[in-house]
Amino acid sequence: MSDAEIVDRARRYAEDETEATFRDEIAGLCEREAKGERRALAELRERFSSDLAFGTGGIRGVIGGGSNRLNTLAVRRTTQGLAEYMKRVSPGILSARNLSAVVDFDSRRFSARFAREAALVLAANGIRAFLFDRLQPTPVLSFTVRRLGACAGIVITASHNPPEFNGYKVSWSDGAQIVGKVDEEITASIGRVSGPVGIMEESEALARGLLVILEEDALEPYYEMAERRVLRREEKRSRRVDLPIVYTPLHGAGFVPVTELFRRLGFACTVVPEQSRPDENFTHAPVPNPEFPDAFVPAFALAEKIKAGLVIATDPDADRLGAAVPDGKGFRLLSGNELGVLLLDYVLETLSEKKMLPARAYVVKSIVTTELQRRIAESRGVLCVDTLTGFKHICGAMRDMERKRPEYEFLFGNEESCGYLVEAETRDKDGVTAAAMTAAMAAFHAARGETLLDRLRAIHRRHGLFLDFQVAKMFPGAEGISVMRRLMEAFRRDPQALSPGERAVKVVDYLTDTARDMISGEIGSAGGLPRSDVLQVRLSGGGLITARPSGTESKIKFYASLRIDPPFDEMRSPWELEAKGDRIRSRIEEFVSRNSK
């Protein structure tokens, strides 16, 4: 694209943008470029050389003016494309649904404004918009879409991304993120929208019933559902166990629903004061991701002070959950795999003990989530279903099971990046209900005289010692896409490249839907999952190494899952497993360095 074309795109954007903040950014750059300022032209190139693409169920990007930034014009155009698709399909597959959508938002910059803009674009298209009057977690949106029988849901959030980001995520009529053909058709519909997009005035939309404001009491059905789903809730008061809990919402949407649910269930928690209130700048949580220890620094300080037995955090839209426990030296952050294993074990043990485990039941995990979950599930006669990374795929698997094998009951869903689903009424990660289940689980084990780390060791002794970890490498900018493509191509050429000295015995390529036996040479299917740029290598020792570019960030992720089957030496085996993991980490570093230049 020539410099003249870039400048022309910028000027047309400034004409169409209705938000002064973004319009003035670009108008100012255009004025400076007209005076010959090279730095202004470089900035315009960066903002207009590409478009913010709709993918992985929505759009996500840095907030600001420009075609590859998230702004009011992008929100309006995206919503217009969604609205046109909804109107086109409503006489057919959505005939039994209200032509309506639920709109939600979190604590990020412009979230409330973007949500209002989306609602009023829907109204202008004759689609009723149910708009929350305050920030709410993503799982509340999913639950509400299902409860109201809406066609779709929109949540304005960038989840756990840094403060300069925001996003726009779409759910369909079952409350799950859009996938497959629906995703493709909505993307195409959005692509056909250009120029300015109008909205309906709020007063008119309210008067015509095309805008409905959902107030605090709209959460009551969600609370009632969550209370029912928390196992052993009726035992809480009889156990008489003191388990001080520290909670941080990381300046996000979890504060009210998590503390309210805890209050109803009888769990006392102390909220980290400096991270308790919504803050678009994430002043005390610059990395608002409960996967990382840095997000827990204030929480750990408070937990040490009050001698807490459990520390939990939800991310800004409260769909992810992180948890930490005392380890004798301070607090140890449980990985997403470890907490998922503990929750699955707790759910299945409780249902078995109470003779409530269904004869036919299933759990769902992503292909990069620990295989320890499969062993736990199958030891109880429960089916373990694998799917691609991302909760849209986990909920898609639930949809498929309901259609093809309705006799099976869903019990649990997990992906290793701190996403958990402990109930079927929501079709997205649910950090709120999972937080309550985690508190109930920790209290239950404490009443039995064991910590969550004790329980984790007992699980390993029975099912095997597992080590699961991830190495992520950032490659921002346009060149980053090419670098990640080269890395994936190099791994496909040499699937032995990351092995710690063991032979690669099977290579599964989800992009081509092939599984190649490296010993016999036989080639079969990868399992019929949707095609995705993921390569997984199984090692002779039973381990797995997986590589995939992220769907939401400019990074490539390498996952390793290693194991030692029982019985094993509890002193020596953990050291051996860690040493093998260190060799894989070194191989990844060498591989990336060699192939990214």
Contact predicate 256/229, CB 8 Å: no
Q: With 0-12 CB in 10 A as exposed, 13-18 as middle and 19+ as buried, what is 560? A: buried
Under a CB-based contact definition with an 8 Å cutoff, are residues 169 and 58 in contact? yes
Cβ atoms of 303 and 312 within 8 Å: the answer is: no
179 contacts 399 by C-beta, under 8 angstroms: no
Rounded Cα distance between 437 and 9, Å, is 51
User: What stretch of H or E contains 520?
Assistant: none
User: What's the CA gap between 249 and 166, in Å, rounded?
Assistant: 18
Q: What region does 149 belong to: left with phi over 0, alpha with psi -120 to 50, or beta?
A: left
How far apart (Å, rounded) are the C-alpha atoms in residues 191 and 238? 58
Which amino acid is it at 307? Answer: K
Residue 288 · residue 158 · CB < 8 Å = no
CA distance 146 to 153: 9
Query: Is 540 noted as a catalytic residue in this protein?
Result: no
CA 44 to chain CA centroid, Å, is: 32
Which stretch of DSSP H or E encloses residue 252?
A: none
- Other Cβ atoms closer than 10 A to 30: 18
What's the N-to-C CA distance of the chain in angstroms?
Answer: 25
d(CA 91, CA 168): 26
Q: Which of 398, 419, 416 is nearest to 319 (CA)?
A: 419
Question: Which of 346, 305, 308, 299 is closest to 326 using CA atoms?
Answer: 308
What is the C-alpha to C-alpha distance for residues 249 and 187, in angstroms, rounded to an integer? 32
* Active-site pick, 107, 159, 532, 561: 159
Q: What gap in Å lies between CA 171 and CA 37, rounded to an integer?
A: 43
Question: Given its phi and psi angles, is residue 579 left (phi above 0), alpha (psi -120 to 50 degrees) or beta?
Answer: alpha
Indicate which residues carry an active-site annotation.
Answer: 159
